Amino acid sequence: MIVPKILLSAEAFDAAREEELLLAGRTDVGALVAFTGLARDEDGALSALELEHYPGMAESELSAIAQEALSRWPLQGLTVIHRFGLVRPGEKIVLVLAAARHRAEAFAAAQFLMDYLKTRAPFWKKERRADGRAGEWVAAKERDEAAAAAWELRVSRAKSPR
């Protein structure tokens, strides 16, 4: 029975340390896939991202998504960490660690986690501009919805009789 580590953090987190924690004392893990999402600034216009979240629901949705991943793949460890509050360019926003015996399920679970997190976890990003002007809310992308929907399709195909 794998208990995923789910963490919301107002502070920066140490991704390497999280890997060490996940693997500590383990000799049965053959594959670890780590995804890190960072606050990105393309042209110096951004001073920070403000990450708003829905306390309580953010944790429960991340937990639900992690449980869904555990039900789909035989994982040996799972860590999901998400920042909230002010995140500066170059800082990490999200970390997903998926450990398994083999790489295929670790890759798939990490991608599934991120695709679902993007469209189901209640977080919203607002840009804070370097020039002091009011920043915009980051718009949701249709391709994120499509990526999450594609997993639903895979399930219904797998479950429907041929």
Residues that bind another protein (CB under 8 A): 37, 51-54, 56-57, 60-61, 82, 93-94, 114, 117-126, 137-140, 145
Min CB(47)–another protein separation in Å:
18
Which of 94/106 has CB closer to another protein? 94
Smallest separation (angstroms) from another protein to the CB of 19: 19
Smaller CB distance to another protein: residue 20 or 137? 137
Q: How far is the CB of 37 from another protein (least distance, A)?
A: 5
| Nearer Cβ to another protein (109/121) | 121
For the chain, the straight-line distance linking the first and the last C-alpha, in angstroms and rounded, comes to: 32
In angstroms, give the least distance from the CB of 77 to another protein: 20
Which of 75/93 has CB closer to another protein? 93
CA distances for 23 relative to 16, 26, 97, 110, angstroms: 11, 5, 10, 16
In order of 41, 138, 139, 149, the CA distances from 143 in angstroms are 21, 14, 12, 10
Least distance from another protein to the Cβ atom of residue 73, Å: 19
Give 25 or 56: the residue with its C-beta nearer to another protein.
56
